[in-house]
Amino acid sequence: MTTSDFLEHAAAATLDPARPPAVRLSGVCKTFGGADAVPVLDEIDLQVAAGELLCVLGASGCGKSTLLNLIAGLDRPSAGQISVDGGHAALMFQESALFPWLTAAGNVELALRLRKVAKAERREQARRLLSLVRLDGAADKRVHELSGGMRQRVAMARALAQNSAVLLMDEPFAALDAITRDVLHEELVSLWEGNAREGRPLAIVFVTHNVREAVRLGQRVVLLSSRPGRVAREWSVDLPQPRRIEDAAVAGLAAEITGELRREISRHA
């Protein structure tokens, strides 16, 4: 199967009306504060299909991270409803948030322990997941022995260990250098495609402030307005993978989205 054939097959599965969405938000609002309440998100209606890779963009403070926290169940909406396939989503932060006193494998095993995976199986599963993110041989390394990119790979393996149909990623590559970020883009897409081929579609909601990153990765890009955050516009990204962040088609669509983002920022300045 060629890449274009695979993407056509994946898109058909994604658009299957008989399959429930991996994530559904209906009329979701979030307000912080009491008498001087500040609305952060307002009337968010959004669906993420099973196996879809969705990127969310917006200006700083528009509520992108709040949106992920609500989907992850770390906070509750002030109004509206949220449903997630399987009842829970895995969350990967901008910082790796690894426990420094544990090895790479130990950090992954922690997620397996929370799932009550038997001790005898945890080590084997952790090593398999580390291998999946190309960290063969790093299982026994401590956090201080790992580079920034390696730490994010461990964090990705730990998120995958949660065995969720939904993976939430909050600017996970923002602090990395351009080359490491590009490599991790490739690996993320490879993991996502691998899950689809194996019949285990993984829906990814990827928050970023980098427009080209969103176009390089996403099947769809959603732009949130500035506070309160609303779905201002969305784009389908009909470009075959593998993509490169420097591709002319990626740059062209990114320029269009950047123009709309600037208009949104100007409207709410």
Instruction: Give whole-number Cα distances, 152 to 80, 107, 108, 187, in Å.
Output: 33, 12, 12, 12
Q: Note whether 168 and 89 are within 8 A (CB).
A: yes
Cα–Cα distance between 175 and 178 in angstroms, integer? 9
Same domain, 53 and 169: yes
Same domain, 43 and 13: yes
Same domain, 259 and 155: no
Number of folded domains that form the chain: 2
pTM given for the model: 0.90
Q: Token match 């099973």: residue? A: 50
pLDDT of 94 reads 86
DSSP 223: E
Which among 102, 54, 69 has a CA at the least distance from the CA of 203?
54
Q: Note whether 64 and 230 are within 8 A (CB).
A: no
Count of CB atoms within 10 A of residue 106's CB?
Answer: 20
Same domain, 214 and 115: no
Strands of 23-32's sheet, edge to edge?
38-48, 23-32, 79-84
Tens digit of each residue's pLDDT, the chain (269 residues): 333 343 444 444 444 555 789 999 999 999 987 767 888 999 999 999 999 999 999 988 899 999 999 999 999 999 999 999 999 999 998 888 999 999 999 999 999 999 999 988 999 999 999 999 999 889 999 999 999 999 999 999 999 999 999 999 999 999 899 999 999 999 999 999 999 999 999 999 999 999 999 999 999 999 999 889 999 999 999 999 889 999 999 999 999 999 999 998 888 76
Same domain, 234 and 104: no
Q: Of the residues 136, 163, 190, which one is the last residue of a structural domain?
A: 163
Report the CATH number that the domain containing residue 70 is assigned in CATH. 3.40.50.300
Q: Of the residues 163, 183, 210, which one is the last residue of a structural domain?
A: 163
If you write DSSP's letter for every residue of 251-268 in order, what string do you get?
HHHHHHHHHHHHHHHHHT
Same domain, 29 and 125: no
pLDDT of 189 reads 95
Domain boundaries, position 29: 3-89+164-267
Q: Of the residues 116, 145, 163, which one is the last residue of a structural domain?
A: 163
pLDDT of 2 reads 38
Same domain, 147 and 178: no
Q: What's at 115, amino acid-wise?
A: R
Same domain, 132 and 225: no
Same domain, 83 and 105: no
Cα–Cα distance between 153 and 149 in angstroms, integer? 6
Same domain, 153 and 179: no
Q: Note whether 29 and 50 are within 8 A (CB).
A: no
Same domain, 79 and 168: yes
pLDDT of 11 reads 43
Same domain, 173 and 201: yes
